[in-house]
Amino acid sequence: MSESAGITLAELGRLVDARVEGDGSLRITGVATLRSAGPGELSFLANSKYRRYLAETRAGAVVVDESSVAELHTSALVHANPYATFARAARLLAPDPSPAAGVHPSAVVDDSARIAPGVHVGPRCIVGAGTEIAEGCILHAGAIVGDDCRIGEGTVLKAGVILADRVALGRGVRVHSGAVIGSDGFGFARDGDEWVRVPQLGGVRVGDHADIGANTTVDRGALEDTVIGAQVKLDNLVQIGHNCDIGERTVIAGQAGVAGSTTIGRDCMIGGACAIGGHIRLGDGVVVTGGSNVANSIDGPGVFSSTTTPVETNRSWRRNAVRFTQLDDMARRLRALERGTDEKEG
């Protein structure tokens, strides 16, 4: 970023609601890590593992909390949440590109679609019949939007995103490349030697300021809509089955899968590669650590974990799973028996 594009530390502090320590007239032109930042750049400390780099950083300023101010030899922005404050500052210093409004000549837009004047529709995009796209939206190259979709103000579809028919995205949603929203749910009924496809007649509703990661898939509902709440963050390669309902501000890390008709509450955190079973409910504030297998409902809140074991017959696994839940009680009883034996021998 050029010097002319910078901003003074004092102004940056005002915009992100952080206290300035040191030279408020210092001009900040970019962001970088503690180890690589130069005199005109802003860095941050949010993880104690990197505290050792404070003494040697060349950053012009560092975002820290109160506990780290005494260790600084640079100017600083001081806030109780350094990481979030740095994120806000970084967005000001390095804003997303904003391509000019207009429809590229190679795009195919149905005559019945309603596109606001300030929308950018990139090369080879497709917009279906009856779709409405609000002001400030950006459709990057090759994005496909089906029929009867609704896209709220300021939403961004990265290159190659696919929205099937009857998908509704709120305001400020970001959908990354390769994501597919509104694909058919996995619905089949067995009839003798035949699998009969169950029509997936619902849609998908995504709330304001949600993020959908690259190559993530969100299936449409069978009869009612699949729902992704406001400010939900889905990482790359996440699978959300049909008729799921994901509560506001929940985050789900990469390669996690949520089977159909499962409800996940608000403010949950699902670790990477978790397998969440179908037709269950996770309450508000549930945290599931990475790689866990969740087969039953959790009332929450709390932190929950499971582990993987070598594959075995289901009958054997079920017996061992029950015994696993009894291990703590068995250990207590064993210790009590050992104490009783020691007392008798003494």
CA 212 centroid distance within chain: 7
Whether residue 12 sits in one domain with residue 78: yes
CB 119 within 8 A of CB 137: yes
Domain final position from 66, 93, 120: 93
User: How many degrees, rounded to 5, is the angle at CA 167 between CA 161 and CA 173?
Assistant: 60
Residue 66 lies in a domain: yes
pLDDT at 1: 38
**All residues at 6 or more sequence positions from 319 whose CB lies less than 8 Å from its CB, including other chains:** none
Whether residue 177 sits in one domain with residue 130: yes
Whether residue 148 sits in one domain with residue 57: no
The tens digit of pLDDT for each residue in 139-181 reads 999 999 999 999 999 999 999 999 999 999 999 999 999 999 9
Give the alpha-carbon dihedral of 10, 13, 17, 21, to 10 degrees: -90
Domain final position from 46, 72, 93: 93
Whether residue 186 sits in one domain with residue 224: yes
Q: Where are the alpha helices (DSSP H) in the chain?
A: 9-16, 82-93, 314-325, 327-345
Asked about 242 being catalytic, the answer comes back as yes
Whether residue 131 sits in one domain with residue 263: yes
Overall domain count for the chain:
2
pLDDT at 315: 87
Scanning the structure block, which residue is given the tokens 């619902």?
202
Residue 316 lies in a domain: no
Whether residue 161 sits in one domain with residue 238: yes
| DSSP, res 73 | S
In the set 79, 140, 209, 242, the catalytic residue is 242
Residue 282, amino acid: L
The tens digit of pLDDT for each residue in 43-85 reads 999 999 999 999 999 999 999 999 999 999 999 999 999 999 9
Residue 247 lies in a domain: yes
Whether residue 127 sits in one domain with residue 31: no
Residue 341 lies in a domain: no
Average model confidence (pLDDT) across the chain: 94
Burial of 25 (0-12, 13-18, 19+ CB in 10 A): exposed
Residue 143 lies in a domain: yes
**Confidence class for position 310, pLDDT limits 50, 70, 90:** low
Domain final position from 93, 120, 155: 93
Whether residue 82 sits in one domain with residue 112: no
Residue 152, amino acid: G
The CATH number given to whatever domain includes residue 294 is: 2.160.10.10
Whether residue 240 sits in one domain with residue 287: yes
Residue 217 lies in a domain: yes
Burial of 42 (0-12, 13-18, 19+ CB in 10 A): buried
Whether residue 142 sits in one domain with residue 65: no
Cα separation, 125 vs 114, in Å, equals 15
Whether residue 114 sits in one domain with residue 32: no
pLDDT at 312: 75
pLDDT at 344: 64
Domain that holds residue 87: 3-93
Strand pairing report for 7-8 and 27-28:
antiparallel
Residue 290 lies in a domain: yes
Cα separation, 191 vs 180, in Å, equals 30
The tens digit of pLDDT for each residue in 31-49 reads 999 999 999 999 999 999 9
**Confidence class for position 239, pLDDT limits 50, 70, 90:** very high
Stated pTM of the model: 0.88
Where b means 16+ CB within 10 Å and e means fewer, 279-314 reads ebbbbbbbbbeebbebeeebebeeeeebeeeeeeee
Tell me which residue of 117, 150, 149, 121 sits closest to 135, measured CA to CA.
Answer: 117
Residue 35 lies in a domain: yes
The CATH number given to whatever domain includes residue 17 is: 3.40.1390.10
Tell me which residue of 266, 215, 264, 223 sits closest to 244, measured CA to CA.
Answer: 264
Whether residue 172 sits in one domain with residue 71: no
Strands of the sheet with 138-139, listed across from one edge: 102-103, 120-121, 138-139, 156-157, 174-175, 211-212, 233-234, 251-252, 269-270, 286-288, 302-304
